[in-house]
């Protein structure tokens, strides 16, 4: 019976500190396709120890373009897409080899859960866990869309979820978060908003960050990660504030300063305060095991 083969495609830019762990973890693959985005550190030198199939490309702001290029160079039956700060633990390696060997013909791809290590801690709330990523797929069946940097691979056909997680050493420092936020993520997000919206107003300067904080800290239960969860939720709010500011910049820094501006601002803040109150009480209801307290919190939530 013909052996089922696996290609790993990695795209990287100046990742000399993390790429070794990534490459070592996928040394079991039949082939490693390495797309270097014009690195100026030791990234390529490290990659050469694991593969000869290295392709140098321009450091495209739309990261998915170079990843798709890497997919086109793969020759195996299956492709596993990885970033330089991701790695495959032994348990996941065994599961990957098992599913591609025993794969039924109608399953074209697999979603893999991802453990995000941020500021030295595994973040287990909200958007950070289980953070399923569609990364393992049959050659010719998948590619990244190129409209938004955070898009998933698009796959033709049926998909399933895997059990074992990949490891993602995400942000090591605040400086790294701020750099990527400015140079990559807010640039792409602001362009997306500009493409679909007529314009932003002063209310959005409040609503963009507040809504993202409420979603991340309360709805997605970021508070369960303590200080890490609080800081990450605040940084996500900052991300949306910077996104708003870049859209506003694109509009030519349009002026909004009516005579009632301070009163309008006060009214909007009152609405936001009510939303915070609602989400605090909702969180208390979710976290308490005392049935009497649950009832009292629900009554308080109904009161205006």
Question: What residue spans define the domains of the chain?
Answer: 6-169, 174-302
Q: How far apart are CA 140 and CA 127, in angstroms?
A: 29
What pLDDT is attached to residue 103? 79
Indicate the average pLDDT of the chain: 93
Q: What does the pLDDT look like over 280-303, one tens digit per residue?
A: 999 999 999 999 999 999 999 998
Q: Are 32 and 6 in contact (CB under 8 A)?
A: no
Tokens of 298: 């629900």
The model's pTM: 0.86
CA distances from 175 to 171, 179, 247 (A): 9, 6, 23
What pLDDT does residue 149 have? 58
How far is residue 47's CA from residue 25's CA, in Å, rounded to a whole number?
A: 13
Residue-wise pLDDT tens digits, 134-152: 999 999 999 988 766 567 8
pLDDT at position 198, please?
Answer: 75
So what's the pLDDT on residue 128?
92
Q: What pLDDT score does 115 carry?
A: 97
Q: Check whether 88 has a pLDDT greater than 70.
A: yes
Where does 10-85 have alpha helices with state H?
19-25, 43-47, 64-73
User: Which tens digits make up the pLDDT trace of 215-226?
Assistant: 999 999 999 999
Is residue 94's pLDDT more than 80?
Answer: yes
Residue 235 to residue 229: CA distance in whole angstroms: 10
Q: What is the CATH superfamily name and number for domain 6-169?
A: Spore Coat Polysaccharide Biosynthesis Protein SpsA; Chain A (3.90.550.10)
Contact 87, 25 (CB under 8 A): yes
Give the lowest-confidence range in 5-9, 108-112, 255-259: 255-259
| pLDDT over 80 (residue 268) | yes
pLDDT beyond 70 at 62: no
The pLDDT value recorded for residue 196 is 86
Average pLDDT over residues 23-28: 97
267-272: which pairs have CB atoms within 8 A and are 24 or more residues apart? 268/203, 268/206, 269/206, 272/206, 272/210
Tell me what percent of the residues of the chain surpass a pLDDT of 70: 97
pLDDT given for residue 148 in this prediction: 60
Q: What is the pLDDT of residue 28?
A: 97
Does 68 score more than 80 pLDDT? Answer: yes
């Amino acid at each position: 019976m013909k052996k089922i083969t696996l290609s790993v495609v990695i795209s990287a830019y100046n990742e000399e500190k993390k790429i070794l762990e990534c490459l070592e973890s996928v040394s079991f693959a039949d082939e490693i396709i390495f797309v270097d985005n014009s690195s100026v550190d030791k990234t390529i030198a490290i990659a050469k120890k694991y593969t000869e199939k290295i392709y140098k490309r321009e450091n495209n702001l739309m990261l998915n373009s170079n990843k798709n290029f890497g997919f086109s160079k793969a020759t195996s039956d299956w492709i596993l897409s990885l970033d330089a700060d991701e790695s495959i633990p032994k348990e996941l390696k065994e599961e990957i080899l098992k599913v591609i060997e025993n794969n039924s013909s109608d399953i074209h791809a697999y979603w893999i859960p991802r453990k995000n290590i941020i500021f030295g801690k595994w973040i287990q709330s909200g958007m950070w866990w289980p953070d399923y990523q569609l990364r393992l797929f049959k050659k010719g069946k998948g590619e990244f869309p190129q409209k938004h940097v955070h898009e998933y691979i698009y796959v033709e056909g049926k998909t399933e979820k895997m059990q074992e997680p990949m490891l993602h050493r995400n942000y090591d420092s605040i400086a790294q978060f701020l750099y990527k936020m400015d140079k990559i993520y807010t640039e792409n997000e602001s362009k997306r908003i500009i493409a679909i919206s007529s314009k932003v107003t002063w209310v959005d300067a409040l609503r963009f960050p507040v809504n993202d904080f409420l979603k991340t800290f309360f709805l997605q239960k970021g508070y369960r990660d303590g200080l890490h969860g609080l800081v990450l939720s605040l940084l996500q709010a900052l991300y949306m504030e910077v996104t708003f500011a870049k859209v506003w910049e694109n509009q030519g820094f349009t002026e909004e300063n009516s005579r009632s501006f301070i009163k309008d601002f006060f009214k909007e803040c009152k609405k936001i305060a009510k939303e915070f109150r609602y989400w605090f009480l909702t969180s208390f209801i979710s976290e308490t095991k005392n049935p009497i307290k649950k009832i009292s919190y629900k009554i308080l939530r109904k009161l205006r």
